[in-house]
A and B are shown apart, each in its own frame.
Chain A
Amino acid sequence: MISPELKEVILKQLNLDDFDLQDETIAPQVPGWDSLNHINIILAIEEKFGIKFKSRELIQLKCVGDLQKLVDSKLGK
Chain B
Amino acid sequence: MSEFNFNIEEANTLWKRWTLNAKKYPNRDAIIHWIAGEEPIRWTFQSLIEKAKKFSIHIKKHGIEKGNVCAIVMRHNPNFYPLYLGISRTAALPAVLAYPNPRLHPDKFRQGIEGMSQRSGLDYIFTERELEPIIRPLIEKPGSTIKAIFFPLEWDTNNEIDSKLDNEIEENANNVDSSEPFLLQHSSGTTGLQKPVVLSHRAVLNHVKYYGKAIGLKEDDKVVSWLPLYHDMGLIGAYHIPLAFGIPSVQIDPFQWVLAPVIQLEAITQEKGTLLWLPNFAYNIYAEKVDEEELEGIDLSTVRRVINASEPVRHDSHEKFAKRFEKYGFNPLALTAMYGMAETTLAVTQTEEGKPIPELPANRNLLSNGEFKFANENSVKRICVSSGKLIEGCSIRIVDENRNDLPDGKVGEVAVHSVSMFDGYRNYPEKTAEVLENGWYYTGDYGFKYEDDYYIIGRKKDIIIVAGKNIYPEDIEDAINNVEGVIPGRVIAFGDEDEKMGTEQVAVVAETKYETEDEKKNLRLNILKAGMAIDINIHKVYLVPPRWLIKSSAGKPSRKANKERLINGNDPQVWSK
Contacts and interface: CB of A to CB of B under 8 A. Distances in A.
A44 to B, nearest CB: 11
B259 interface: yes
A55 B36 contact: yes
Interface string A1-32: 00000000000000111000000001011011
Given A17-B521, A28-B102, A55 B532 contact: no
Contacts, number: 61
Contacts of A32: 528, 537-539
Contacts of A17: 521
Tell me if A's interface is mostly helix, strand, loop or mixed. Answer: helix
Contacts of B62: none
Given A59-B36, A59-B256, A36 B501 contact: yes
Contact of A55 (B101, B260, B281, B503): B260
Contacts of A38: 258-259
A51 to B, nearest CB: 11
Contacts of A61: 259
B521 A56 contact: no
Given A37-B537, A52-B293, A28 B101 contact: yes
Contacts of A58: 259-260
A15 B291 contact: no
A59 B528 contact: no
A54 B529 CA distance: 31
Contacts of B281: 36
B577 interface: yes
Contact of A39 (B101, B285, B466, B531): B285
Nearest to A33: B537
Interface of A: 15-17, 26, 28-29, 31-32, 34-40, 43, 46, 52, 54-56, 58-59, 61
A61 B503 CA distance: 26
18 contacts: A29-B103, A31-B525, A35-B258, A39-B258, A39-B261, A39-B285, A43-B289, A55-B259, A55-B262, A55-B263, A55-B294, A56-B36, A56-B37, A56-B260, A59-B37, A59-B256, A59-B259, A59-B260
B467 interface: yes
A9 B577 CA distance: 17
Contacts of B537: 32, 34, 36-37
A17 B520 CA distance: 12
Interface in B563-577: 577
Interface in B527-543: 528-529, 531-532, 537-539
A37 B537 CA distance: 10
Nearest to B290: A55
B534 to A, nearest CB: 12
B75 to A, nearest CB: 14
B36 A31 contact: no
Contacts of B293: 52
Q: Size band of the B side of the interface?
A: 20 to 34
Residue of A15, A40, A56, A59 with most chain B CB atoms under a 10 A cut-off:
A59
A29 B533 CA distance: 10
A59 B289 CA distance: 15
Which A-B residue pairs are the 10 nearest by beta carbons? A55-B260, A28-B103, A31-B528, A35-B258, A34-B537, A28-B102, A39-B289, A55-B262, A58-B259, A59-B259
B532 A28 contact: yes
A35 B532 CA distance: 13
Interface string B256-272: 10111111000000000
Interface string B512-556: 000000000100010011011000011100000000000000000
A68 to B, nearest CB: 17
A42 to B, nearest CB: 8
B229 to A, nearest CB: 17
Interface string B277-303: 000010001000101011000000000
Nearest to B526: A31
Give the most central of A39, A40, A56: most B CB within 10 Å. A39
B517 to A, nearest CB: 10
A31 B532 contact: yes
Contact of A52 (B262, B289, B291, B525): B291
Contacts of A35: 258-259, 467
Nearest to A30: B532
A56 B281 CA distance: 22
A32 B261 CA distance: 20
Contacts of A54: 294
Interface in B450-506: 466-467, 501, 503
B390 to A, nearest CB: 33
A13 to B, nearest CB: 12
A51 B291 CA distance: 11
A52 to B, nearest CB: 6
Nearest to A34: B537
Contacts of B501: 36
Nearest to B498: A36
Given A37-B537, A58-B260, A59-B256, A31 B529 contact: yes
A59 B257 CA distance: 9
A38 B289 CA distance: 11
Nearest to B36: A59
Given A35-B259, A36-B281, A55-B260, 20 more contacts: A16-B525, A17-B521, A28-B532, A29-B103, A31-B525, A31-B529, A32-B528, A34-B103, A35-B467, A36-B466, A36-B501, A36-B503, A37-B537, A38-B259, A46-B291, A54-B294, A55-B36, A55-B262, A56-B260, A58-B259
